[in-house]
A = this chain, B = another copy of it.
């Protein structure tokens, strides 16, 4: 992943990173979970951690996709040159994670079905790219239609 991402232009690299998050989201769906995935990449495009929402799988409401990816990356110092890619606009919880740890860049698969704190992060100097990816939109739209109860639970509504 490192070499491949390094040789790509920015938009192509963003989509390559999103593909990893989408793999996580689809794996979550296959497990009966909430289909949101994320991954944390280092400055040279190296994958530091990847994860998916684990509310259903682990009965753990604290594991959103972004927090799962952050956890998987382990203990690190200095997130300024890292990129968090997520299939869905980060909620306030996950936006708070980005802000507190100074993650420098966020790539968002889509912000159509849910719009969290990515706009606010941009105001705080985070580089934010929203891809409006139709596959991401379809995945969440279908899920929300099928399991509105689970979706409401996951965003505290």
Contact = CB atoms under 8 A, between A and B. Distances in A.
Contacts of A157: 102
A71 B60 contact: yes
For this chain, the copies found in one complex come to 2
Contacts of A67: 62, 67
Given A102-B156, A156-B102, A75 B96 contact: no
Nearest to A77: B153
Interface of A: 55, 59-63, 67-68, 70-71, 73-77, 79, 91-97, 99-102, 116-117, 153, 155-157
Contact of A61 (B75, B92, B155): B75
B59 A156 contact: no
A36 to B, nearest CB: 14
A100 B156 contact: yes
21 contacts: A59-B74, A60-B71, A62-B63, A62-B71, A67-B67, A75-B153, A77-B153, A91-B96, A92-B97, A92-B99, A93-B93, A93-B97, A93-B99, A93-B100, A96-B96, A96-B97, A96-B99, A96-B117, A100-B116, A100-B156, A102-B156
